[in-house]
Amino acid sequence: MDAILNRSRELKQELIQFVLDAEGELAESLESYVAAKSRPQGNRHDATYEQNLLIDSFVTEGRVADKTPLDSFIDSKPELSEGDRTLISSWRRSFTGLFAVIHILPDGFELMNWLTAKPYTVKPNDPETLEEMARFKEGDILVTRIAPVTDAYWMFSGPCMPMGRLGKPKLAVAIGNFKENHKDALYSDAPDLLEQAWQSVAKYHQEFLDFFGSDEVTLPGYQLNKKINELQELLTKRHLAAAGIDESKSLAEIAEEAGVTEAEMKAAAVEAGADSTAVSQLFDSSKGSPKMVMPKVELPAELKKAEQVSVFTHPRWGQMFLPTYAQFKAILESEDWQSNKDTNKLVRKYLDDRTINVFIWHKLAELYPTQLEKVLQAFLERPEFKLERDLEALLKEHNKPLEPELPEIASVPLHLHNLFQEALAEVNKSKSKGKKKEKTVRGFR
């Protein structure tokens, strides 16, 4: 083991011990951070793993005044050499990721971050960990934190959770779980992809406004689904036009213009699930820029059948579909809302359901401030509750993020889009086995 890797272990141990031994504001900040980030016990795979991962994350993400714990550690150690300070400072780039083992090295691994497709050479910084990781195989999936050591390689920073080899359907689920459990870590090593994802949310918001003429629309479920499909078809045509692709031309003609073979074009079309989408993706990817793909918006079956569904759009909060919004508004507009048997059930749902976010609550508070306050006072049995003063705390108490998180409508990198399409095709193929009559399987478009 080289000297700098060995030194990284010593310094990292000192840093973690500094955090654990801290008192006062730093200790309070750690306690608050862990409490806010911890998942409910039923959602944890390993409580010790999660706690250690949170402590490691806190080192660079926690705050005491305007400093991180890592900054405070450096300030507390004037005896550190310039090299040590440079090494520790580089750990600000540490991040949590879902990695695939691409190649096994004598002293570490070649990993790929599945969220961004970026490669890393990563080494354990102690012999015991390297020995424990000897069972890892190429193709295995790991959730862990890594930190830079030199320009050439990184080290395992936090605990590692091996998940073994995963087929495409299970890998797609693992990526979905990672996005749900580590929202702050999405595209951590690719801020350009994160920025593109946020830009896609704002762009779709404007396209929704242009198409519907409003940021709020209420329609029967089947009609809304039809209109959403029309909007997406329109956007696909615009995308093709922007890419310089003539829809009237044959696949062979488009392939020749794009500088690829027709076979390559057809293969891409099969992967993406739709010729026009695949053609535009392949055309764009030939330009060399990271390609982000807008996910297909499709209402769940229960919403398609709903009598009415309200959809909202926002440049940061994304899209929200609520089949009960009109019902909740009717309660807030009613004089005898207390006698309505659905009042408490709806209030509880709006507080507990994560899909009903702060944006919706702020909209209701703006439209019905007096009535909403009365309803919440009764539901909470807190006559002193004041909407303007207490609403934010109430929503935070019910685990509703007060700031937008990257919405599901955001575009995703092309390699993730293709994985999800392939995973869905495998699932549908598996379901079709054993049936007497094969049916045409349609994936998400």
Last residue of a domain, one of 162, 185, 208: 185
Task: Please report whether residue 262 resides in a domain.
Answer: yes
3-state secondary structure of 138: coil
Kindly state whether residues 326 and 282 are assigned to the same domain: no
Kindly state whether residues 143 and 58 are assigned to the same domain: yes
Share of the chain above pLDDT 90, in %: 66
Residues 6+ apart with CB under 8 A from 200: 292, 294, 409, 410, 411
Last residue of a domain, one of 185, 201, 234: 185
Kindly state whether residues 206 and 142 are assigned to the same domain: no
Task: Please report whether residue 402 resides in a domain.
Answer: no
**pTM of the predicted model as reported, rounded to 2 decimal places:** 0.82
d(CA 416, CA 197): 13
Last residue of a domain, one of 119, 152, 185: 185
Kindly state whether residues 29 and 162 are assigned to the same domain: yes
- First-to-last alpha carbon distance for the chain, in angstroms, is 50
Kindly state whether residues 167 and 45 are assigned to the same domain: yes
Q: For residue range 380-430, what is the model confidence (pLDDT) as tens digits?
A: 999 999 999 999 999 999 989 999 999 999 999 989 988 988 888 888 877
Q: How many independent structural domains does the chain possess?
A: 3
Task: Please report whether residue 225 resides in a domain.
Answer: yes
pLDDT score of 188:
92
Kindly state whether residues 228 and 95 are assigned to the same domain: no
CA dihedral over 280, 167, 51, 117, signed as positive or negative: negative
Task: Please report whether residue 106 resides in a domain.
Answer: yes
Task: Please report whether residue 245 resides in a domain.
Answer: yes
Amino acid at 391: L
Kindly state whether residues 83 and 147 are assigned to the same domain: yes
- Cα 228 to Cα 217, 234, 240, 324, 330, distances in angstroms: 11, 10, 19, 19, 26
Which structural domain range is residue 215 located in?
A: 192-298+412-432
Measured at the CA of 416, the angle between CA 199 and CA 238, to 5 degrees, comes to: 50
pLDDT score of 14:
96
Kindly state whether residues 421 and 382 are assigned to the same domain: no
Lowest-confidence pick of 6-10, 43-47, 137-141, 368-372: 43-47
Kindly state whether residues 169 and 121 are assigned to the same domain: yes
Task: Take residue 155 and report the two structure tokens written for it.
Answer: 């080290």
Q: How many CA atoms lie within 13 A of 251 on its CB side?
A: 16
Q: For residue range 119-156, what is the model confidence (pLDDT) as tens digits?
A: 999 999 988 888 889 999 999 999 999 999 999 999 99
Taking all residues of the chain, what is their mean pLDDT, rounded to a whole number? 86
d(CA 110, CA 103): 5
Q: In what order do the strands lie in the sheet with 216-219?
A: 216-219, 309-314, 318-322
d(CA 354, CA 271): 32
Kindly state whether residues 145 and 16 are assigned to the same domain: yes
- The CATH number for 47's domain is 2.40.50.140
Q: For residue range 222-276, what is the model confidence (pLDDT) as tens digits?
A: 999 999 999 988 887 777 676 666 666 655 666 666 665 555 555 554 444 444 4
Kindly state whether residues 384 and 237 are assigned to the same domain: no
Kindly state whether residues 375 and 418 are assigned to the same domain: no
